[in-house]
């Protein structure tokens, strides 16, 4: 479902120095997997995740998602391909001046869905994350866990096959974290959405991942399976 082939990323620092955030790396993630990227802060996990939907443009290598080589697509093709890749964030990234329903509708507006279909899809997605009764609220009226549920509903609205999650529970307390992880596992099970999740916590990997990669200093050091909540590292 997701293949990175010799993908690499450098950043040029303000002083002109070059920093290697990801050395040339290969990664294969299967359809339907929940795949973790775990490692210390600054290891390159978030960069690796953002290379999957080309939020970061690789310096070398190929990114293939759902049979499409994203790195070979022109801008318009890439915009369309990105409808197939939802993303959620540590800080939720909701728009404060829009209601819950209008936040979820946002990617559908961008994609040009007609208003009636948009409304039906928004209702479906809010029901999926257990927030059908909060459609008219503003983000400020919600708890952290509820805000992340809105983030998940927004990411799923365009019916993506892939969901990228960048430290989705790092701003939440342990009980709320459990609820969000259960929600992601449920979506993976019910919809078959492939989930890639960045975390610095082994507990998150144990809770929901099928496999995970250890990222350290811009390299994929190891890939291990998780069986019945036990990391086979």
Q: Return the number of the residue (6 or 91) whose C-beta is nearest ligand ADP.
A: 91
Which residues in the 90-149 window bind ligand ADP by CB under 6 A?
A: 93, 95, 106-107, 110
Confirm if 209 and 202 have CB atoms less than 8 A apart. no
Report if residue 43 touches ligand ADP, rule: CB under 6 A: yes
Residue span binding ligand ADP (CB under 6 A) among the ranges 43-51, 134-142, 186-194, 206-214: 43-51
Site string for ligand ADP, 61-100 (x = CB under 6 A): -------------------------x------x-x-----
Q: Return the number of the residue (47 or 146) whose C-beta is nearest ligand ADP.
A: 47
Confirm if 8 and 59 have CB atoms less than 8 A apart. yes
Report if residue 46 touches ligand ADP, rule: CB under 6 A: yes
Which residues in the 184-223 window bind ligand ADP by CB under 6 A?
A: none
Report if residue 44 touches ligand ADP, rule: CB under 6 A: yes
Q: Return the number of the residue (41 or 232) whose C-beta is nearest ligand ADP.
A: 41
Instruction: Spell out a b/e string for 161-181, using b for 16 or more CB atoms within 10 Å of the CB, else e.
Output: bbbbbbbbbebbeeebbebbb
Residue span binding ligand ADP (CB under 6 A) among the ranges 44-52, 61-69, 112-120, 186-194: 44-52
Size of the site for ligand ADP (CB under 6 A): 19
Centre a 10 Å sphere on the Cβ of residue 232 and count the other Cβ atoms it contains.
Answer: 8
Residue span binding ligand ADP (CB under 6 A) among the ranges 39-47, 60-68, 168-176, 203-211: 39-47
Q: Return the number of the residue (11 or 115) whose C-beta is nearest ligand ADP.
A: 11
Report if residue 39 touches ligand ADP, rule: CB under 6 A: yes
Binding site for ligand ADP (CB under 6 A): 11, 19, 21, 39, 41-47, 86, 93, 95, 106-107, 110, 154-155
């Amino acid at each position: 479902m997701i293949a990175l082939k010799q993908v690499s990323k450098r950043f040029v620092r303000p002083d002109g120095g070059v920093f290697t955030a990801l050395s040339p790396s290969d990664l294969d993630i299967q359809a339907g997997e929940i795949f973790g990227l775990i490692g210390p802060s600054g290891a390159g996990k978030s960069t690796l995740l953002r290379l999957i939907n080309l939020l970061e443009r690789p310096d070398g290598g190929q990114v293939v998602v759902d049979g499409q080589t994203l790195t070979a697509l022109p801008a318009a093709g890439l915009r369309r391909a990105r409808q197939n890749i939802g993303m959620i964030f540590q800080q939720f990234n909701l728009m404060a001046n829009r209601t819950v329903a209008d936040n979820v509708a946002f990617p559908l507006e961008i994609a040009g869905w007609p208003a009636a279909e948009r409304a039906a899809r928004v209702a479906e997605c809010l029901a999926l994350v257990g927030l059908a009764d909060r459609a008219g609220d503003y983000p400020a009226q919600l708890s952290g866990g509820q805000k992340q549920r809105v983030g998940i509903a927004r990411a799923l609205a365009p019916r993506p096959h892939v969901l990228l999650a960048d430290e989705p529970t790092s701003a939440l307390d342990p009980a709320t974290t459990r609820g969000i992880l259960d929600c992601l596992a449920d979506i993976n099970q019910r919809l078959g959405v492939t989930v890639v999740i960045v975390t610095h916590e082994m507990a998150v990997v144990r809770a929901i991942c099928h496999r995970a990669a250890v990222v350290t200093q811009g390299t994929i050091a190891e890939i291990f399976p998780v069986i019945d909540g036990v990391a086979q590292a």
